[in-house]
Structure 1
């Protein structure tokens, strides 16, 4: 019996007759038996590979065949926009068997939530933060709401696992399982994972008693053709490998203005999705395209949900248009049939590139494609480094952040909020086998008691005044939000919510009127309500300004090594370079010839007398090496991904001796210095002893494997200057 035959007959009927499918995709077929048998699973397939159906069809068959009643399945997503996008599709599937799917997140009205509590849909789409709010809410009987829960589906599971939100997600699921007294089936879905077995182990909370498997049918690889030497973008030819057409091209444009000209001129009549790496760049590019007569829409996280939805819906229905987006459109949100993806500069990871590339080539006879437009030499090199990794078939492993002590502290307080008490002994059992608490957990618990976050009475602890002071605002919303965002002001044009800007934009000195650039349009500030954090605006023809704080690490070790390889002559297989890009990389190789050598460590003397060690190891590895080599590295310098500044009053001999000492097995490996002021970026750090908070942050700033690989066995040093 194949997988399809195991499905409920009603589900089978609708797959064939309502959807008009001739058969299932390999992932959908392979997922049926294990999911219907109750196993945990990781479902892997490229973007648009049918993962949602692979999870839903067998779960709906179980729901009908085993007569599940009440809320049976949770469907968790990292973004509210993704939930809104998926809900109509999943609701249409549940209707096949007379069931219902509803959504609960921060934008859902109180009346809709009341209906959910009263009627209990069969599938509830939500976020982990909203799920925890149900657990602690006085108006929700969590035991009754989750009493019939059987399975949890986690969409874009890699986006959780690589972040503290993943630890939070697993901790909340563990508390629900503790409340119910039984395990829940866990099904994770992802398009791009470099270490799926480890991801499954993480999803199962490292519980060896759970049964699960990775389901990843073979799909055509991403390696295509050979490096092209076409003179223009238009002459780039896609390659056919394993039935998949892929066309990846790099152009060097040098400025935002030139990027606007290329996008406006190329591929007219097509629907184009342009990815950028910042909200500021999205606004500047959108404004330039609008002035060039291109129909353009904008999507990024500082636009209101309504504004983003209007843009995405208009784009989905239009032709001959462009939508400019940050990573908000990377995770599966449907914006209709795309003709082309354009990437300004390089995404930070191969995984992001694969997500974006997978947006195209969905129609029969079409090509998966991506046109890269590099705005400067550094971004051209970063693009080549990332694509060198991609062409070799490498994708980043998903690695959960180490030492989640701050999330553990948050969970203790959340449990006190949920149960109105925490036992002073055996309190960790609520989280089962989840490796959330390390050897410092008891110290953290004692700190919560000592500082008044918890108060004790007899053998129990309960929420204390310090927790209410720090996290109690608006029903403890600060305690239930795991990620930190900068303070923002809502931008209102009449009654329309346009989006958000950070405080700095409204407080810095300006000459003349204060004009913002938001949603690809310019807005003059007419009034600021500082108490309510609302900025009132009206349209203007004066050019506005877009500005937001930036975040994120620099290049990884592997991508930095890909950049080094590009300087040494290796270009990514299957990628076409335009004449401008070819000329630019040749110039780069000439300009930076003293920064790379195939078989030696390279140091150069700078104009100010400092030595610079060209490691090409990435930001984290360089930060690690700086901590390991205090005798030759000045402290507290700005960390770069390509190099480390060394003391001026040393020479190659001293540098070589320091490196040799660091290579020795017994050499000390201290963590980098962390300024206590930086702890504000670690959510809930106030609930940890400062020593543990500093240790937690420092441990997350390093890459010991990359540092060790950089030290390597090379003893020769090539010095320039």
Structure 2
């Protein structure tokens, strides 16, 4: 299919969108997607760097299909790992759909109830959500699943690599299969990722339980160049963080940049010290923080400032800005300390140079001087960082994703979820319902029998006179709690308030007059309410 043929095959308003955005051409991935989504109806894995048009490649033909052959329900289910990513993509997709009859709806904890109710009354268009929101829907109101997805055509999984190889990703596969059983429809799956090391494994993950073959299509802009620098600083303990922060401050002056750290605490310390240096040097305060412990409002303000500001800005972050949230073009990415994974490094470097096609990443490493010994003075973080740079930029090597073979903890979760969804079940029916899910292929009938026996002994389940298995009072409490829908365990946190405005959360209680960093500032504790897990600060 030629570029012109692909363009002509798209629906009129998408052609208008391409024209208004002044795209010079469709890239090869977008052209190939039109043919394979609209004609071949295959599961597809889109692999391309950040800002290479993966989302558009998947959405444009899928939207064209539901416009030409309207669905009787939601036509496209768009699954994302983060609510912030959903909100960011919502604006982009809404702009593409402007002036059309195709609706797009966000469905997560912070989304407007009125919009959800409108969708339930008149299901259609695109639904954006997270795995946890889908699990809640299945457990609480399975009839909504029939209403919303009875004629589902496509499932788009954004940031596919983020789900692979962990319990959350396996939970997502189980959820998709449970939805397929309820509505008796198998939609086409489209996966999006910038960092896939094992294409074969990713295709197997994408297609698990769908009965469809999957194929990968990608795009690489050969014009893109990479500039990598490494600065290693040997410090005495007393020199941290001042000497270290000074180098990062000087590196970031006059630039639009992200500062990635490996922990929230380090992020807070570095930005607080760098801001202090900037004020002392007479520089404007253009320093922000963005991580999971910061309140939603502050994170959104940071995203808006990054996107709208034309001047220099430095935002300290962890994982939250590693994914594809649109924050405008960046001059550089700065990595404090050795990155945890090569795939994470690749995601981060891809955040810079969207317009210039030159991605810049600067590594700032630190090593504390030892009193004696060659090995003690060897900077292993420097050695590992250089190895990671060589492995990717010379050999294009990424870590292999390992998928858990016998996820018994997920099995316990899904047994509770299935009984919550369907009610009491006879053991053979329960075994058939659960073990037929593709994620449990490595689990035997005997394994399930032992798990059920343990769940009964632990009072999660109870057995009725006719032999059916149902939820006990304890099991019902577990299934009704908000934390049940996520298979990952959340840490205990305390909410931090300043003048009754939420700043964020911390992971422990603080005494009155204690001080701590949060949102790039230093706060003094006025009081701590242990019962309500609230800390007031000034």
Which residue does the alignment assign to 1:408? 411
**Aligned 8 A contact 2:151 2:185 in 1:** no
Query: Is 1:434 matched up with 2:425?
Result: no
CA distance in 1, matches of 2:35, 2:426: 41
Give the alignment partner of residue 510 of structure 2, picking from 506, 512, 534: 506
Following superposition, the deviation at residue 534 of structure 1 comes to 1.1
Normalising by structure 2, we get a TM-score of: 0.89
**In the TM superposition, what is the alpha-carbon distance from 1:96 to its structure 2 partner?**
5.6
Q: Name the Cα RMSD after superposition.
A: 2.1
| Corresponding residue of 2:329 | 337
1:323 offset after TM fit, Å? 0.6
Match of 2:269 among 284, 291, 300: 284
In the TM superposition, what whole-angstrom CA distance separates every residue of 1:561-605 from its partner, at most 9, and x where no partner exists?
A: xxxxxxxxxxxxxxxxxxxxxxxxxxxxxxxxxxxxxxxxxxxxx
Structure 1 runs not aligned, ≥5 long: 221-241, 539-721
Is residue 351 of structure 1 aligned with residue 338 of structure 2? no
Tell me if structure 1 keeps the 8 A contact 2:170–2:439: no
| 8 Å Cα contact 2:206/2:214 also seen in 1 | no
For 2:12 and 2:388, locate their aligned partners in 1 and report how far apart those are by CA, in whole Å: 46
Whether 1:483 aligns to 2:488 is yes
Q: Is the 8 A contact 2:72 2:123 kept in 1?
A: no
64-73 or 171-180, which moves further after superposition? 64-73
For 1:468, which of 457, 461, 476 is the aligned residue? 476
Q: Relative to 1, partners in 2 of residues 1:213 and 1:139: Cα closer, same or farther, differing over 3 Å?
A: closer
- Rounded Cα–Cα distance in structure 1 between residues aligned with 2:505 and 2:101: 41
Q: 2:79, 2:131 within 8 Å by CA — same for their partners in 1?
A: yes
- CA distance in structure 1 between the partners assigned to 2:227 and 2:470 by the alignment: 59
Q: Is residue 2:79 matched to residue 1:76? A: yes
Question: In terms of Rg, which structure is larger?
Answer: 1
Q: Is the 8 A contact 1:194 1:397 kept in 2?
A: yes
The CA distance in 2 between the partners of 1:278 and 1:360, in whole Å, is: 21
Displacement of 1:528 in angstroms is 1.5
Change (3 A) 1:116 1:334: same
Report what 1:247 is aligned to. Answer: 227
**Could you tell me which of 116, 120, 144 is aligned with 2:123?**
120
Q: What secondary structure is seen at the aligned counterpart in 2 of 1:249?
A: strand
1:632-674 residue CA offsets vs partner (Å, 9 max, x unmatched)? xxxxxxxxxxxxxxxxxxxxxxxxxxxxxxxxxxxxxxxxxxx
Q: 1:197 aligns with which of 169, 184, 200?
A: 200
TM-aligned CA distance change 1:173 to 1:215, over 3 Å:
same
Distance 1:516 1:117 in 2: 45
Q: Would the aligned equivalents of 1:103 and 1:124 in 2 still touch at CA under 8 Å?
A: yes
Q: When the two structures are aligned, how many residues end up with a matched partner?
A: 506
3-state SS of 1:491 partner: strand
- 3-state secondary structure, aligned to 1:253: strand
Matches of residues 241-640 of structure 1 in structure 2 within 5 Å? 242-254=222-234, 255-293=240-278, 294-318=285-309, 319-364=311-356, 366-376=357-367, 377-390=379-392, 391-430=394-433, 432=436, 434-437=438-441, 438-439=443-444, 440-457=447-464, 458-469=466-477, 471-472=478-479, 475-503=480-508, 505-506=509-510, 513-538=513-538
CA distance in structure 1 between the partners assigned to 2:252 and 2:317 by the alignment: 18
Supply the distance in 1 between the matched residues of 2:322 and 2:257 (Cα, whole angstroms): 14
Query: How do 1:172-187 and structure 2 match up within 5 A?
Result: 172-187=175-190
Unaligned runs of 5+ in 2: 235-239, 279-284, 368-378
User: Is the Cα contact below 8 Å between 2:160 and 2:192 reproduced in 1?
Assistant: yes
Mapped partners of 2:62, 2:188: distance in 1: 10
Q: Do 2:167 and 2:407's aligned partners in 1 also have CA atoms closer than 8 Å? A: yes
Give the CA deviation at 1:108: 2.1
SS at 1:280 equivalent? helix
Deviation at 1:206, TM superposition (A): 6.0
Structure 1 position 78, deviation (Å): 0.6
Secondary structure, aligned partner of 1:193: coil
* Cα distance between partner residues in 2 of 1:139 and 1:496: 37
Q: Displacement of 1:500 after TM fit?
A: 0.3
Q: Distance in 2 between matches of 1:430 and 1:179?
A: 12
Deviations 1:456-494 (A, max 9, x none): 33253221123135x15xx33232121112100110111
Return the alpha-carbon distance in structure 1 between the equivalents of residues 380 and 109 of structure 2.
40
C-alpha spacing 1:309/1:31, structure 2 compared with 1 (3 Å)? same
Q: Does 1:145 align with 2:136?
A: no
Per-residue deviation at 1:383? 1.2
Task: Name the TM-score, length of structure 1 as normaliser.
Answer: 0.67
**In the alignment, what sits opposite 1:587?**
none
Work out whether residues 289 and 299 of structure 2, in 8 Å CA contact, stay in contact via their aligned partners in 1.
Answer: yes
